[in-house]
């Protein structure tokens, strides 16, 4: 307890934020050992995903001290004279953390360009390359709960950092002394709309969206920062204005209409789907709060709507981009937990295909000629013959391209995205995917579950024999090592089990491949796939014992 108190008092002495100082003083005065242990018994570790955690006092929380230390570490790794662009979303304290970062970086002798407004993450990623900066910082916690915030670092290539940069920046952070002794600057550039948003809009509206524009769209930014930019992008591309979910359109860091601000979470899309039914929409589009992800909903024959999975959208976009680009030696890429469908599409079209580790920091580094990359968690980077305008997932560029695809299908025979999915199923087999996730409070439970799978590997899942097991921690197929296991099952099925990189979850990714060109066609294949996936889930749950 005495050591915790000492560290807390040292933290208190350097903290510039009256709110977190008051929080920590109250904890000390009350002698709340559990609260001190929670805040000072561990720290947020800086990695390739940067920092992400709950707001509050102490090294195990996101706060001004944590952020200033991160900025000082980045400055130490870059060195004086380098140029850093900083963006931020509308979460609690995002603007404060951005200004603190600007002050620390500028005080360390770096040139700083600070976004003049809370703009989406893809705008920041675009700005790094557009301005020729050496690095970028985005203050956001993406789709995490309201009390979280985060700190993402991009390098000069416009992509998020990968090893060993994370280790080098982390070491520089650890070498940083008290933040109240850091020199602070105030001579940074404030980026205007004309300086960065307009060039971004020009880049994404140049994507291959075709010339069909007759489409009724419902859109929600889910209380995030994507609304204004997406509406401007659709207008610039010639689409009619989307019908907006008014209750979710203005940025609000408390996300009052959703339990969890992630389009994939149950209930998050209810308001958008209700408006779609009322408006008779052809397409429903949602961004997550920092607008780097894109969710898609479509009308169903029974008069309702359903959300497409990330893999369904990933396959549709992949084939569309391949068909609408002509550059030689094109490459498409996906993460190892995404559907194997993209590989079959690429092979059929004579286009190169690559698998990478999870995360766009790896996808965008898949190789030269990359025109498209995706991961199943609603992340897509859509390009053209000129390459990718954003070297990260971009929910706005993806939304434009999906709308163009849907408008063309509607014009050409009154088809929908569901019809396009059925056509792919007949051509390549139905690739049905699902997930199983276990959220924990004690991360040791995840470690133990992974240990059980290694010591007692399942011989079959869902009645399908396990043909091979890839231990991803050893590095597979030339990929860097990462914690996870991949099972290849009889009949082309696959299961990947891995801890989440941003949340206290163990995530399992399931896929079955069912022929859809035979008796019963696509409906029979979908029915069988649903049953097969449920049986695999049951067997996997037993094997994990969570």
Residues 306 and 412 in one domain: yes
347: in domain = yes
What single string gives the DSSP state of each residue in 16-60?
--HHHHHHHHHHHHHT-HHHHHHHHSS-PPPBTTBEEEEBSSSTT
Sheet architecture: strand order including 331-335: 352-356, 331-335, 370-375, 379-382
Spatial distance between the Cα atoms of 72 and 53, rounded to a whole number of angstroms: 19
- pLDDT of 10 strictly over 80: yes
Residues 420 and 433 in one domain: no
The CATH number covering residue 87 comes to 3.40.120.10
Residues 397 and 457 in one domain: no
Which 3 state secondary structure label does DSSP give 470?
Answer: strand
Using one digit for the tens of pLDDT, what is the confidence trace for 368-415? 999 999 999 999 999 999 999 999 999 999 999 999 999 999 999 999
Spatial distance between the Cα atoms of 279 and 444, rounded to a whole number of angstroms: 48
Residue 504 is predicted with a pLDDT of 84
What is the extent of the structural domain holding 347? 205-426
- Among 113, 142, 381, 384, which one carries the catalytic annotation? 142
Residues 228 and 102 in one domain: no
Query: If we measure between CA atoms, which residue out of 188, 173, 133 comes closest to residue 155?
Result: 133
Per the structure, the count of domains in the chain is 3
- pLDDT of 1 strictly over 90: no
The CA radius of gyration of the chain, in Å to the nearest whole number, is 24
Tokens of 194: 């004309």
Q: 290 to each of 72, 286, 471, how far by Cα in Å?
A: 25, 11, 33
Residues 185 and 212 in one domain: no
499: in domain = yes
The residue from 194, 221, 242 where one domain ends is: 194
Residues 448 and 488 in one domain: yes
- First-to-last alpha carbon distance for the chain, in angstroms, is 33
199: in domain = no
Residues 399 and 448 in one domain: no
Helix, strand, coil percentages in the chain from 3-state DSSP, rounded to 5: 40, 20, 40
325: in domain = yes
Tokens of 385: 């013959």
The CATH number covering residue 538 comes to 3.30.310.50
Residue 520 is predicted with a pLDDT of 86
Using one digit for the tens of pLDDT, what is the confidence trace for 190-245? 999 999 999 999 999 999 999 999 999 999 999 999 999 999 999 999 999 999 99
* H-only helix segments in 350-457: 360-363, 395-411, 417-428, 444-455
Q: 510 to each of 164, 211, 513, how far by Cα in Å?
A: 31, 37, 10
Residue 528 is predicted with a pLDDT of 96
Residues 326 and 421 in one domain: yes
**Omega cis (within 30) before 70:** no
Residue 394 is predicted with a pLDDT of 98
> Would residue 444 show up in a list of annotated catalytic residues for this protein?
no
200: in domain = no
E strands within 128-216? 135-139, 148-155, 189-191
Query: Mean pLDDT across the chain, nearest whole number?
Result: 96
Q: For residues 254 and 269, is the Cβ–Cβ distance under 8 A?
A: no
Residue 441 is predicted with a pLDDT of 87
Rounded percentage of the chain residues whose pLDDT exceeds 90 = 95
Residues 239 and 110 in one domain: no
**Which residues are paired to 306 by β-bridges?**
298
- pLDDT of 351 strictly over 70: yes
* H-only helix segments in 79-141: 94-107, 121-130
Q: 384 to each of 66, 205, 356, 407, how far by Cα in Å?
A: 39, 11, 20, 19
Buried b (16+ CB within 10 A) or exposed e, 253-273: bebebbeebbbbeeebbebbb
Which 3 state secondary structure label does DSSP give 168?
Answer: helix
Residues 182 and 243 in one domain: no
Using one digit for the tens of pLDDT, what is the confidence trace for 499-545? 987 778 899 999 999 999 878 899 999 999 999 999 999 999 999 98
Residues 311 and 417 in one domain: yes
Q: Which backbone phi and psi does 64 adopt, to 5 degrees?
A: -65, -35
The residue from 426, 458, 474 where one domain ends is: 426
150: in domain = yes
Spatial distance between the Cα atoms of 396 and 381, rounded to a whole number of angstroms: 10
DSSP state of 313: H
458: in domain = yes
Calculate mean pLDDT across residues 58-84.
98
- Residues contacting 327, CB < 8 A, separation 6+: 369, 371, 385
Residues 86 and 129 in one domain: yes
Tokens of 8: 């807390």
- Residues contacting 451, CB < 8 A, separation 6+: none
Tokens of 392: 């990260």
Q: For residues 82 and 44, is the Cβ–Cβ distance under 8 A?
A: no
The residue from 426, 447, 462 where one domain ends is: 426
């Amino acid at each position: 307890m005495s050591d915790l108190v000492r560290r807390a008092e040292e933290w208190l002495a350097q903290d510039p934020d009256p709110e977190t100082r008051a929080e920590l003083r109250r904890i000390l005065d009350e002698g709340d050992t559990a609260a001190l242990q929670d805040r000072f018994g561990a720290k947020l570790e800086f990695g390739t995903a940067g920092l992400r955690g709950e707001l509050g006092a102490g090294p195990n929380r996101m706060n001004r001290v944590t952020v200033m230390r991160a900025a000082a570490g980045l400055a130490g790794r870059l060195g004086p004279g380098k140029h850093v662009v900083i963006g931020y979303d509308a979460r609690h304290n995002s603007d404060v953390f951005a200004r603190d970062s600007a002050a620390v970086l500028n005080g360390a002798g770096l040139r700083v360009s600070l976004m003049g407004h809370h703009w989406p993450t893809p705008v920041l990623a675009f700005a790094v390359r557009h301005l020729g900066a050496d690095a970028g910082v985005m203050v956001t916690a993406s789709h995490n709960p309201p009390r979280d915030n985060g700190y993402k670092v991009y390098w000069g290539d416009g992509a998020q950092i990968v090893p060993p940069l994370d280790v080098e920046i982390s070491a520089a952070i650890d070498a940083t002394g008290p933040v109240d002794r850091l020199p602070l600057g105030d001579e940074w550039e404030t980026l205007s709309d004309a300086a960065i948003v307009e060039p971004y809009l020009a880049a994404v509206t140049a994507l291959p969206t075709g010339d069909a524009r007759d489409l009724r769209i419902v859109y929600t930014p889910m209380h995030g920062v994507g609304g204004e930019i997406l509406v401007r992008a659709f207008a610039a591309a010639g689409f009619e204005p989307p019908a907006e979910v008014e209750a979710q359109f203005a940025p609000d860091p408390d996300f009052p209409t959703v339990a969890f601000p992630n389009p994939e979470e149950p209930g998050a899309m209810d308001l958008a789907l209700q408006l779609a039914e009322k408006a008779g929409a052809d397409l429903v589009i949602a961004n997550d709060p920092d607008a780097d992800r894109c969710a898609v909903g479509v009308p169903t024959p029974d008069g309702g709507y359903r959300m497409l999975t990330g893999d369904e959208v990933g396959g549709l976009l992949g084939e569309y981009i391949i068909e609408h680009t002509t550059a030689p030696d094109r490459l498409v890429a996906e993460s190892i937990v995404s559907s194997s469908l993209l590989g079959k599409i690429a092979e059929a079209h004579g286009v190169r295909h690559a698998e990478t580790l999870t995360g766009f920091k790896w996808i965008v580094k898949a190789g030269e000629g990359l025109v498209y990359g995706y991961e199943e968690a609603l992340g897509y980077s859509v390009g053209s013959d000129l390459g990718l305008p954003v070297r990260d997932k971009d929910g706005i560029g993806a939304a434009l391209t999906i709308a163009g695809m849907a408008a063309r299908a509607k014009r050409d025979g009154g088809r929908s995205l569901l019809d396009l999915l059925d056509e792919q199923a007949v051509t390549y087999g139905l690739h049905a995917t699902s997930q199983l996730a276990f959220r924990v409070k004690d991360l040791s439970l995840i470690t133990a579950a992974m240990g059980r799978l290694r010591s007692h590997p399942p011989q079959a899942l869902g009645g399908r024999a396990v043909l091979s097991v890839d231990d991803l921690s050893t590095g597979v197929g030339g990929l860097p090592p990462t914690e996870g296991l991949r099972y290849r099952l009889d009949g082309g099925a696959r299961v990947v089990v891995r801890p989440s990189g941003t949340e206290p979850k163990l995530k399992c990714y399931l896929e079955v491949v069912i022929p859809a060109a035979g008796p019963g066609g696509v409906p029979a294949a979908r029915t069988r796939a649903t049953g097969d996936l449920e049986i695999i889930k049951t067997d996997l749950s037993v094997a994990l014992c969570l």
